[in-house]
Amino acid sequence: MAKIIVVTSGKGGVGKTTSSAAIGTGLALNGHKTVIIDFDVGLRNLDLIMGCERRVVYDFVNVINGEATLTQALIKDKRTKNLSILPASQTRDKDALSQEGVQQVLNELGKTYDYIVCDSPAGIERGAQMALYFADIAIVVTNPEVSSVRDSDRILGILQSKSRRAEQGMDPIEEHLLLTRYHPERVEQGEMLGVADVEEILAIPLLGVIPESEAVLKASNQGTPVILDTESEAGLAYDDAVHRLLGEDRPLRFLEVPKKGFFKRLLGG
Amino acid sequence: MSESNFQFKGSVVTTILLEISHFDEMSLIAAIENKVEQAPNFFQMAPVIIDLSKLDQVINLDEFNRLLLHLKNLGLSPIGWRSHETNKPAWQDEVSLPLLPASKTRATRLENNVNQDKANPDVVIKTVVEEKRVAQSSKIISKPIRSGQQVYAEGDLIILSSVSPGAEVLADGSIHVYGALRGRALAGVKGDSNARIFCRSMEAELVSIAGNFILSDALQKILWKESAQVLLNDENLDVVAF
């Protein structure tokens, strides 16, 4: 049976789609058959980040409504083996997602895939609730600032009360914290919350810390998941997070302010 | 229209408890026989509970059944039995007699009350009702209370974790938070002015007792990020370290 992972946050713009693309790609790179589903019906973005926007013919809502088969709608990733994308519909809204329809699609995908990554829309309304309802694992993407932390806290409450696992009294969803857009200098100056502060408030295990990096924006614009950029800190940090998700123990990196080199200091850089 | 011909009721009855500490069949039976002969009328058809909880050895089913038979022959009527708490016999499910739960300290106290207050039944009822109320009153939660969640307890509310900002905890009685209190806490919501709020780290958005409240701004001037209790003192809320 496939593991269903929801990437969620409550707040918008914290890096859910970037993280879904990176983690989905990372799981596939490690040999697991993976599909990433865009649940953001009406605000389709995952296809852009994955660089497959020109290959979208059918979408998630078409499959739910029986207008297309899963095989027709799934887009195989050209760079990474074992990876597929199920794009969202751009012309519909979140009400098009019925619980039965979503369940049917997930069951069907579960037969062939090891991991199903659900890229949740922002908010706590229908789209977000559908994305998290069937999840086994939740990755809560949080930025180190108070409003993001509060929204993550809210979504954790929803995971614990409105998911299938909660409603049916099964084992609770496995929760992971992914701290993104982390800026060690600003933490040091007290402008940003530190890792410990966020961990203390949310009280769930830390999956990884992704440093703020120009590579993320560059990768998004190019349509390449940032995890494929093995020269960037963000790419390496996502790679660490994927390995932690798979059960490996890896130390945290990129939390310290980089020391200025001799020449940089000399030149006042 | 729904008139019922019967009622199920709880009742406390005084019975004889036969507590056996050592089982030597011959001498035990002889000793019981001797006891019964001293007051045959008292023991005639008297209900008996056989208590093996203090027994220092394990007896087998045959021995137990023979004991039952002897008691019946002596005119007693066994109505139940208790086994050893930890050392339960393997045959305990094969006995036709009901297995009663071990006597708890509270149950014993209740029985004592019954004995002492035989002459004054009103007092007995009062004691029982009070015990019931205490047993139901507090709600214990071990998970963090997340933003947007609301928890209400009819009695005391005990939270073993933190209360997040944007969460709300309410209780008719007192509220105890064994973590940081970062959300809103309202104790004594039905007007109990003796209710209090306790927490390991005071970072609340609002605390209220019986409708009298203080907001975070005011709290920060009194005490912040320290363990604290909040109590009502003539319509004034006192926030004190403890």
Best residue in B146, B160, B169, B182 to probe A by mutation, most A CBs within 10 Å?
B146
Work out the mean pLDDT of chain A and round it to a whole number. Answer: 94
Q: How far, in Å, CA of B209 to CA of B173, rounded?
A: 9
Q: How far, in Å, CA of B50 to CA of B45, rounded?
A: 15
Q: Beginning with the edge strand found earlier in the chain, give each strand of the sheet holding B212-215 in spatial order.
A: B150-153, B168-171, B184-187, B206-209, B212-215
A201/B143 touch (CB, cutoff 8 Å), yes or no: no
Chain A to chain B Cβ contacts (< 8 Å): 33
Determine the pLDDT at residue A252: 94
Q: pLDDT exceeding 90 applies to what percent of chain A?
A: 92
Q: How far, in Å, CA of A65 to CA of A58, rounded?
A: 11
Determine the pLDDT at residue A1: 82
Is the pLDDT higher at B184 or at B43? B184
Q: pLDDT at residue B125 above 80? A: no
Q: How far, in Å, CA of A130 to CA of A8, rounded?
A: 11
Determine the pLDDT at residue B101: 79
Model confidence at A65, in pLDDT bands (50, 70, 90)? very high
For B184, the 3-state DSSP assignment is: strand
Model confidence at B103, in pLDDT bands (50, 70, 90)? low
Determine the pLDDT at residue B40: 77
**A34-59 pLDDT tens trace:** 999 999 999 999 999 999 999 999 99
Q: Which two tokens stand for residue A75?
A: 């887009």
Q: pLDDT at residue B108 above 50? A: no
Burial label for B114, CB within 10 Å (0-12, 13-18, 19+), is middle
Q: How many CA atoms lie within 13 A of A24 on its CB side?
A: 35
Which of residues 125 through 154 in chain A touch B, CB cutoff 8 A?
150-151, 153-154
Which of residues 193 through 252 in chain A touch B, CB cutoff 8 A?
200-201, 203
**B204-225 pLDDT tens trace:** 999 999 999 999 999 999 999 9
Instruction: Report the candidate in B200, B188, B203 with the shortest Cα–Cα distance to residue B237.
Output: B188
Return the exposure string of A253-262: e unless at least 16 CB atoms fall within 10 Å of the residue's CB, then b.
Answer: ebeeeeeeee
B146/A201 touch (CB, cutoff 8 Å), yes or no: no
| B232 φ, ψ (degrees, to nearest 5) | -95, 130
Torsion angle of C-alpha atoms A103, A107, A112, A118, degrees rounded to 10: 30
Determine the pLDDT at residue B104: 56
Residues in chain A closer than 8 A to B167 (CB atoms): 157
Determine the pLDDT at residue B123: 45
For B166, nearest residue in chain A (alpha carbons): A150
Q: How far, in Å, CA of B103 to CA of A144, rounded?
A: 56
**A144-170 pLDDT tens trace:** 999 999 999 999 999 999 999 999 999
Residue range A54-68: mean pLDDT, rounded:
94
B148/A203 touch (CB, cutoff 8 Å), yes or no: no
Residues in chain A closer than 8 A to B161 (CB atoms): 203
Best residue in B164, B178, B184 to probe A by mutation, most A CBs within 10 Å?
B164
Residue range A235-251: mean pLDDT, rounded:
96
Cα dist. B151→A134, A163, B175, B204 in Å?
25, 19, 11, 15
Q: Are B237 and B230 in contact (CB under 8 A)?
A: yes
Determine the pLDDT at residue B65: 86
- The DSSP 8-state label assigned to residue B52 in this structure reads -
Residue range B117-134: mean pLDDT, rounded:
47
Stretch among A75-89, A204-218, B3-17, B19-33 having the lowest mean pLDDT:
B3-17
Q: How far, in Å, CA of B16 to CA of B77, rounded?
A: 10
**B1-26 pLDDT tens trace:** 555 788 787 777 777 888 888 888 88
B165/A153 touch (CB, cutoff 8 Å), yes or no: yes
